[in-house]
């Protein structure tokens, strides 16, 4: 993982607890963008889901071609910032980039849910139901 002052490798490890983080995961580009978002808000970011092995990805219902399985995706929240606000910022700042950007709303908690960001190399936008 690219050296940075905000994130540790453990934050991106698969939640299965069995596998190791592959070499060069997460992608440098993903780390750079997450660091920029962290600096914009000047508060911690929690990575809910980073790399996922194929088995764990299937267990959580991830797409077979999920960017999480190659280490170029993260689902995250920004401490104390509404998820919709973070999503809008990411769309405004990175909307012209070839990234996957999505949101999972939590109707009972505006700080719940998460923003998904991946560096897939083409634009993709969606909302999780």
pLDDT tens digits, the chain, 129 residues: what are they?
999 999 999 999 999 999 999 999 999 999 999 999 999 999 999 999 999 999 999 999 999 999 999 999 999 999 999 999 999 999 999 999 999 999 999 999 999 999 999 999 999 999 998
pTM: 0.96
- Confidence (pLDDT) at 129: 85
The set of residues, in sequence order, having a beta carbon less than 8 Å from that of 6 and lying 6+ positions away, is 34, 35, 38, 44, 45
Distance CA 82, CA 80 (A): 7
Write 19-22 long-range contacts (CB < 8 A, 24+).
19/53, 19/56, 21/51, 21/71, 22/51, 22/71
Partner residues linked to 73 by β-bridges = 118
Distance CA 123, CA 101 (A): 8
Query: Helix H segments across 1-129?
Result: 28-41, 54-59, 83-94
Distance CA 89, CA 17 (A): 32
Residue 112 has which token pair?
């719940």
Nearest CA-CA partner of 23 in 15, 12, 35: 12
All structural domains of the chain, each given as residue ranges with its CATH number in brackets, are 9-128 (3.30.1380.10)
């Amino acid at each position: 993982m690219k050296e940075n002052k905000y994130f540790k490798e453990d934050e991106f490890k698969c939640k299965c607890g069995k596998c190791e983080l592959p070499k060069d995961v997460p992608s440098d580009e993903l780390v750079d963008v997450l660091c920029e978002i962290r600096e914009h808000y000047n508060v911690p970011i929690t990575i809910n889901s980073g790399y996922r092995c194929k088995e764990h990805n299937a267990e959580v219902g991830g797409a077979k071609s999920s960017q999480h399985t190659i280490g170029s995706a993260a689902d995250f929240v920004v401490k104390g910032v509404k998820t919709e606000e973070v999503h809008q910022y990411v769309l405004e700042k990175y909307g012209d980039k070839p990234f996957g950007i999505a949101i999972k709303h939590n109707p009972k908690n505006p700080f719940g849910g998460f923003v998904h960001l991946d560096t897939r190399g083409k634009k993709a936008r969606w909302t999780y139901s």
